[in-house]
Structure 1
Amino acid sequence: MAEKIKKFYKEQFLKSDLYKDKKDLINTLLKENEMYSKTDVEKIIRKYLEVIL
């Protein structure tokens, strides 16, 4: 049986110690009422940074 991927809201990522140094990015890039997995968030941040750097 496949393991269910946990998803979280933007607000939960903003409160997470794991992303404390990326709060500005998370606040800007994630939508309020959408749920994301940690993998989703890492991909979104990485894609954004590739564009601006």
Structure 2
Amino acid sequence: MNTQQMLTSQDLLFLKIRVFYQKFEAGAFDNPLMLTKALEILTTEAYSTLE
């Protein structure tokens, strides 16, 4: 993998957010506990990426 193909941590976070949003729109998080856990994970990753 060359340097042009490598994803930055911000790119990876953006992709994770897009996947989450697609799953959310598809109804994958009908259970409030699953939605809460997914949002918690995204929030933690976003915070650590932006530090």
Q: TM-score range by the shorter chain?
A: 0.3 to 0.5
TM-score (ref. length: structure 2): 0.36
Larger gyration radius, structure 1 or structure 2: 2
Q: Which has the higher strand share?
A: 1
TM-score (ref. length: structure 1): 0.35
Q: Which has the higher helix share?
A: 2
